[in-house]
A and B are shown apart, each in its own frame.
Chain A
Amino acid sequence: MRILIAEDDVTSRWLLDRVLKRWGHDIVIASSGTEALEALLSPESPQLAILDWLMPGMTGVEVCREVRRVNPLTSRYLILLTSKSDKGDVVSGLEAGADDYITKPFNQDELRARIKVGLRVIELQSQLAERVAQLEAAIAREKQLQGLLPICSYCKKIRDDGNYWHQVESYIVTHADVRFSHSVCPECANQVRQQILKGA
């Protein structure tokens, strides 16, 4: 997983970078709030970010607020880094759109566990997004069969948008997720039998 680390302090950033790389993550670095925002709004943005509270340019809280304002629907899991004594600020951070926070100096087990939670949420969100896309596609197909269809009263062909007439079967096959298996109903079977007998 690609993870953004936004931290202006060289030592703390180095440590985070080192630890996360050790756990197999790809790291994108930002050393100011503005750089972090830019990275998070870019098309190839990492989905998970660890944002320091106080940074030059913008604070981590401001970055959270901006990301949520600009991209309310994209899934970005944002973890704020805060110091133990700033617990009061945690509420404002979460309200600004952070998903979680971790206190500095961080404990490695706790950091790993919180990142795991983030990855699980991201995974769930992407599965959900996939399901929504599938459902939307199904609804779109369904809609093509709704509304008024012009049908010939005699031969029962259906006219499409391009003014072409189609057999009912071929029209439905192309506009819905259905296939036909051809058979003969008892009534028609009877008629056909009579015709054959007459002809013979």
Chain B
Amino acid sequence: MDTNHSSSLSSSASQGDAVFNLDAALQRMDGDADLLNEVIDVFLEDYPNSLQQLRSSAEARDLKLVLRTAHTLKGVAGNFAANSVTEVGHQVETLCKADQLTEAISLVPMLESRVLILAEALRRHRQKEAA
């Protein structure tokens, strides 16, 4: 089931528009585009720390920290309706909760690359807004 699920995820993540859902994100900000832009800026500044924590917790095989970091990334991506990230984040979380650390860690690179793709898409959105 994992293979099917992952392939559908990666195809949706590769489509520019599917990385995050602008309408849904705006709705979450009560239609306030400025607020959304500010949230994006805070995220763009902070996400490298989360990724760093994700990598180091995976290297240290620290189950609790992998779980928490994946949970955090899932949560923050939810603000942008970025399903590509929330889905993998959720998978990592679920595997950690089931004590399947090795399987969870095997998904960490995918989670990381999804976050990078999201960050890039958000950065482009901000540039477009500024222009």
Q: Which residues of B contact A (CB under 8 A)?
A: 27-30, 35, 38-39, 42-43, 45-47, 49-50, 67-68, 71-72, 74-76, 78-79, 81, 90
Let me know if A9 and B75 touch, CB within 8 A. yes
Q: Is the interface of B mostly helix, strand, loop or mixed?
A: helix
B90 and A11 contacting across the interface, CB-CB below 8 Å: no
Interface residues of A, Cβ cutoff 8 Å to B: 8-12, 14-15, 18-19, 52-56, 83, 85, 104-109
Not counting A9-B46, A54-B67, A104-B75, a sample of 19 additional A-B residue pairs whose C-beta atoms are within 8 angstroms of each other reads: A8-B72, A9-B50, A9-B75, A9-B76, A10-B45, A10-B49, A12-B72, A12-B76, A14-B42, A15-B35, A18-B38, A54-B68, A54-B72, A83-B71, A85-B90, A104-B78, A105-B78, A106-B28, A107-B27
A47 to B126, CA, bound (A): 38
- Is there contact, CB below 8 Å, between A11 and B78? no
Bound form: Cα–Cα A55–B71 in Å: 10
User: For the complex, what is the distance from the CA of A108 to the CA of B30, rounded to whole Å?
Assistant: 6
Across the interface, which residues of A come within 8 angstroms of B68, CB to CB? 8, 54-56
Q: How far is the CA of A18 from the CA of B46 in the complex (A)?
A: 17
What is the interface of chain A mostly: helix, strand, loop, or mixed? mixed
B38 touches A11 (CB 8 A): no
A106 to B38, CA, bound (A): 17
Q: Is A11 a contact partner of B30 (Cβ separation < 8 A)?
A: no
Chain B residues with CB under 8 Å of A106's CB are: 28
Contact in complex: B29, A108 (CB < 8 Å): yes
A48 to B130, CA, bound (A): 38
Contact among B46, B74, B78 with A10 in the assembled complex (CB-CB below 8 Å): B46
